[in-house]
Amino acid sequence: MEEYRTEEEQVEALRRWWQENGRSIIAAVIIALAGSFAWQSWQSSQEGRQEEASTVYQAMLQAIGAEGVSIDTQAAVNLAEQLKQNFGGTVYAQFAALHLAKLAVNREQLPEAEVELRWVLGKAEKGSDAEQIAQLRLARVLASSGDTGQALAILKDAAPGPYGASYAVARGDILQSIGRAEEARDAYLQAFSQAGSNQEGLNFSVLQQKLQSLTPLAPREPEDTMSVQLDVPEQAPVITDPVETLEQ
């Protein structure tokens, strides 16, 4: 930096510097302020919209009722439609459509459910949880309306993400309902293994009943009696590794 000899020179230098640059500094400050305000107000308006959507969604849940036993279906449907129309870009709208699909299935209006699920698939990000869940439900709805071919194709082509066990149960149910017992059995076994080591979240006994109905045990012959171990009472078979045990 230059050396200034006197105070006047310093003041003069400062003034000169301000004359040269003052305008652009003020401009910069104003631009930055305006940008910041615009950004903040855009943010808060976005947040405001999310909050509005949240309120409507909360009301919709209330109308559906706690136990899923619908208290006021019509009100719930209206609120869900409102979410889809006015807040289509939010996740709340996708949740609402998933609930509309559920309400439709419960009324056995499968084509309606199909429309809602396809709407979710159109809105949901690729690879998102909502997409993977909607995909699965779409396949099940199609299967229930009789189009098991397309249903199986969807389940086969889709990437199930973390929902491997749910996908496998759905495949097993579809296959069993059309009498492809062997493949159904494989699918259920796959559900067991997909559910992880402690099979958390999976209803073990229902799945086991389905497997049982596909693979009955042969009754024992009279001469088998003596091979029953004397001091170990027979217990219901516990499947630790279902694949291995049932494959025998």
Site for another protein in 4-43 (CB under 8 A): 17, 21, 24-25, 28-29, 31-33, 36
Question: Positive or negative CA dihedral for 65, 56, 82, 115?
Answer: negative
165 binds another protein (CB under 8 A): yes
Distance in Å, CB of 193 to another protein, minimum: 14
236 binds another protein (CB under 8 A): yes
179 binds another protein (CB under 8 A): no
Dist. CA 209–CA 204, nearest whole Å: 9
190 binds another protein (CB under 8 A): no
238 binds another protein (CB under 8 A): no
- For 187, the enclosing helix (H) or strand (E) is helix 181-194
Site for another protein in 70-129 (CB under 8 A): 90-92, 94-95, 98-99, 101-102, 105-106, 108, 110, 129
Q: Which stretch binds another protein (CB under 8 A): 2-10, 71-79, 229-237, 239-247?
A: 229-237
Distance in Å, CB of 145 to another protein, minimum: 8
Both tokens of 227, joined, read 């091979």
Give the distance, in angstroms, between the CA of residue 91 and the centroid of all CA atoms in the same chain: 11
Q: Which residues in 51-88 are b (16+ Cβ under 10 Å) and which e?
A: eebeebbebbeebbeeeeebeeeeebbebbebbbeebe
Among 74, 197, 222, 238, binds another protein (CB under 8 A): 222
61 binds another protein (CB under 8 A): yes
What SS3 class is residue 231?
coil
